[in-house]
Chains A and B, each alone.
Chain A
Amino acid sequence: DTGVSQDPRHKITKRGQNVTFRCDPISEHNRLYWYRQTLGQGPEFLTYFQNEAQLEKSRLLSDRFSAERPKGSFSTLEIQRTEQGDSAMYLCASSLSVSTDTQYFGPGTRLTVL
């Protein structure tokens, strides 16, 4: 068990650019979650996948955000036309199939939009 991994760990971009983050869950975990954490706050739910199906998207996820999980393995989170307000830590978590199984978090990707 190598844990949840995320890439890159840090990303600095200019406003208006597109960015993509990757998350690799724990191998036997069917569920994958994305959260956003801003300074001084707890993580906020963005979206989650059961295998390859995206089952819910938070209202926090504007049209500029898209997430995919092809083949139910790794997931990508893309932000188009980044804005300074997108600066945050983007956390990925994974869990087994049952809704209340414990979620295990990755190290996060810290995005800074200049």
Chain B
Amino acid sequence: AQTVTQSQPEMSVQEAETVTLSCTYDTSESDYYLFWYKQPPSRQMILVIRQEAYKQQNATENRFSVNFQKAAKSFSLKISDSQLGDAAMYFCAYTGTYKYIFGTGTRLKVLA
């Protein structure tokens, strides 16, 4: 069975600094997709970034980028120039078919 592990329950970053959130996964599938979702307090989950496993190039979306290491089954999220609005729970998710498998999340605090 596929699993997703986020080993950092909580992280803090100073405003304008860079932070990296970790995610590892386990799968025997060769084709799959990985995601980072952001869930602000009492608000809905928003897609931050998506990575297709067959693509070697790391995905980027403005201040957000990933470090996808397929052999190591690692998928970390880097947030550059952190802003107060980045404070949220961040979930790493995996899908090989249709259902998403989520990690337990990392709470990111941004310090002014």
Contacts and interface: CB of A to CB of B under 8 A. Distances in A.
B98 A99 contact: yes
A44 interface: yes
B44 interface: yes
A8 to B, nearest CB: 14
A45 B99 contact: yes
B102 to A, nearest CB: 3
A41 B99 contact: no
Contacts of A33: 98-100
Interface in A64-88: none
Chain A: interface size category: 20 to 34
A49 to B, nearest CB: 11
A91 B50 contact: no
Contact of B44 (A41, A44, A105): A105
B64 interface: no
Given A43-B45, A56-B98, A102-B50, 10 more contacts: A35-B100, A41-B104, A42-B91, A42-B93, A45-B101, A48-B99, A91-B45, A100-B95, A102-B35, A103-B100
14 contacts: A4-B44, A33-B98, A40-B105, A42-B102, A42-B104, A42-B105, A45-B100, A91-B45, A99-B98, A100-B97, A102-B47, A102-B50, A103-B100, A106-B44
